[in-house]
Chains A and B, each alone.
Chain A
Amino acid sequence: AQKITQTQPGMFVQEKEAVTLDCTYDTSDPSYGLFWYKQPSSGEMIFLIYQGSYDQQNATEGRYSLNFQKARKSANLVISASQLGDSAMYFCAMRTRDSNYQLIWGAGTKLIIKP
């Protein structure tokens, strides 16, 4: 079965601290892509970062980095120097050939940044 698990329903973090959002995935397909999206209260899903299963290095995009541990099947999102505007829902998703290239979504983590 293909599945994304996000075990943290909610998190509170002090502004300017780093935060790690957990994501584990399950697939038997050796080729897959992993994505993180941010959803503010306005509703729009905003793409943050992508990691391919064959990528040798962890992906980074500005303050976002992906801690990819293939053997443990984890793809945690790290946000450095958190800002108040980072408060949102965060979703981990996976795309595989076996899923017919459709995104498989986790339940999300609600992140609240405290001033």
Chain B
Amino acid sequence: ETGVTQTPRHLVMGMTNKKSLKCEQHLGHNAMYWYKQSAKKPLELMFVYSLEERVENNSVPSRFSPECPNSSHLFLHLHTLQPEDSALYLCASSQSGQLNTEAFFGQGTRLTVV
């Protein structure tokens, strides 16, 4: 399997639930990212992992908790979310520290918080 794979593709959860999003890449990249995409807003970078260490956390609420057990896998653990957290969550990977490297994206998880 190649590319970046995200599961699940769709998720509906209540505000008291706990769920996890999974991302897997088989491209040999050393950096992985979580983005949030809300309607009519630019992509928001949430977390960056480079060489399995978190290098960036853009003021994301603690109800979002990332985990990167190895360079191929990335998780986003969700708990006590709010309705405004409903969005498309995109995972990406790339080689870190290079200007000319494109990021490869998964198909995203469309999350609805009810």
B107 touches A107 (CB 8 A): no
- The closest CB in chain B to the CB of A106 belongs to B42
The CA-CA distance from A83 to B103 in the complex, in Å, is 25
A34 to chain B: closest CB distance in Å?
10
- The closest CB in chain A to the CB of B44 belongs to A105
Instruction: Given A102-B56, A106-B42, A107-B41, verify A42-B102 contact (CB < 8 Å).
Output: no
By secondary structure, the B interface counts as loop
Instruction: Given A43-B88, A43-B108, verify A33-B99 contact (CB < 8 Å).
Output: yes
Stretch of B16-24, B70-78, B90-98 on the interface side: B90-98
Q: Is B110 an interface position by the 8 A CB rule?
A: yes
Stretch of A14-22, A64-72, A73-81, A90-98 on the interface side: A90-98
Count the B residues whose beta carbon is within 8 Å of the partner chain — how many? 24
> Among residues 57 to 104 in chain B, which have CB atoms less than 8 Å away from a CB atom of chain A?
88, 90, 92, 96-100, 102-104
A35 to chain B: closest CB distance in Å?
6
The CA-CA distance from A50 to B45 in the complex, in Å, is 20
The CA-CA distance from A52 to B99 in the complex, in Å, is 8
Residues of A within 8 A of B104 (CB): 47
The CA-CA distance from A108 to B43 in the complex, in Å, is 9
- The closest CB in chain A to the CB of B104 belongs to A47
Q: Is A31 an interface position by the 8 A CB rule?
A: yes
B90 touches A95 (CB 8 A): no
Known: A46-B105, A100-B56. 6 other contacts (CB 8 A): A44-B108, A45-B103, A50-B102, A102-B45, A102-B48, A108-B42
> A residues engaging B (CB < 8 A)?
4, 31-33, 35, 37, 42-47, 50, 52, 91, 95-97, 100-103, 105-108
